[in-house]
Amino acid sequence: MRNLLNFLAKYNHLIIFLILEGIAIYLISNGNSYQNARIIKGIRGLTTGIEKKVSNTRTYFHLREISQSLARENAILRNTLERSVNRNDLSFSPLVDTIHQQQYSYSTAEVVSNSVNRQKNFFTLNKGREQGLSVDMAVTDGKNAAGVIVGCSENYSVVMSLLNLDFKLSARIKSNGYFGSLSWDGRDYSHAVLNEIPQHVTFGIGDTIETTGYSAVFPEGILVGTVSDFEKIGGDFYRIEVLLLTDFKKLHFVNAIGNLKKKEQIELEKLFL
């Protein structure tokens, strides 16, 4: 009680002012229709602004759940599209086996650990063998190449990042189809290098680099980056600097892509290669 009395004694002038101000506003609003309308409009505008900010704050804190939901829906749509396309391509077959015809399966996962400042970078996913992931599955950030799974436990997977000196990727210039070997030189996390492109090939800054599909890991046409610079080197080839489309410092939700016909392809190639 003493604290309350001390508070009232200390701020009595302010309290009296606020009370009188409230009474004055009440009398003005009730005695004048124009002032009443203006006050009501102002209060509504204030409350609407507060409600909008509260709604935006709630949406921000639910972005994680929204991203997870969208990633799952994207994987489902990719699997459905893959089955649909293959079924149409093989419409001459008298027996429709959608599982056999589907070449790639898609699954979403969340990055729970990541590095970009080492010479050999890896990142970890929160899914493993129990959730259908396995070694040699391609990993993408949306439509862009990110890495390859190199190890799995029951509930986690380790991915060799494209930012790894041991990572090699068969990639091509989309505009002309010429392909080479793409790798990381350990310098800048936002750039990689495409080699083995002959000097008679015509291309330019900004041209798109994508996967060839020649390996049993990455499907054809997965985006990698764009040409940011190039120079001629010995042996009649270009050294092409590629600006990567994947921002490895922002990796969060990714897609794991499995080639359902990988074993068949590898076993056949072993006989000749």
pLDDT at residue 269, rounded to an integer: 86
CB 139 within 8 A of CB 159: yes
Please state, in angstroms and rounded to a whole number, the distance separating the CA atoms of residues 40 and 86.
63
Tokens of 120: 């050999």
The 3-class SS string of 180-205 reads EEEECCCCCCCEEEEEEEECCCCCCC
To 5 degrees, how large is the angle CA 22–CA 28–CA 30?
Answer: 100
Question: Domains in the chain, ordered, with CATH?
Answer: 2-61 (no CATH), 169-244 (2.40.10.350)
Model pLDDT, residue 79: 60
If you write DSSP's letter for every residue of 207-269 in order, what string do you get?
A: -EEEE-S-SSSSPTT-EEEEEEEEEEETTTEEEEEEEESS-TTS--EEEEEEETTHHHHHHHH
pLDDT digits (tens, 9 = 90+) for 194-219: 999 999 999 999 999 999 999 889 99
**Confidence (pLDDT) at 263:** 87
H or E segment and range at residue 33: helix 33-61
Percentage helix, strand, coil for the chain under 3-state DSSP, each rounded to 5: 35, 30, 30
**Res 89: pLDDT:** 41
Per-residue pLDDT of the chain (273 residues; tens, 9 = 90+): 667 667 667 777 777 777 877 776 666 666 665 555 666 666 666 666 676 666 566 555 556 655 655 665 666 666 665 555 544 443 333 333 444 567 899 999 999 999 999 999 999 999 999 999 999 999 999 889 999 999 999 999 999 999 999 999 999 999 999 999 999 999 999 999 999 999 999 999 999 999 999 988 999 999 999 999 999 987 789 999 999 999 999 999 999 999 998 888 888 888 987
Q: Say how far apart CA 223 and CA 55 lie, in whole Å.
A: 36
- Cβ proximity of 234 and 48 under 8 Å: no
Which residue(s) pair with 210 in the sheet?
172, 223
Cα 15 versus chain centre, distance: 55
Burial class (CB in 10 A: 0-12, 13-18, 19+), 54: exposed
Average pLDDT over the chain reads 82
Instruction: Answer whether 175's CB lies under 8 Å from 203's CB.
Output: yes
Q: Report the distance separating Cα 72 and Cα 106, nearest Å.
A: 10
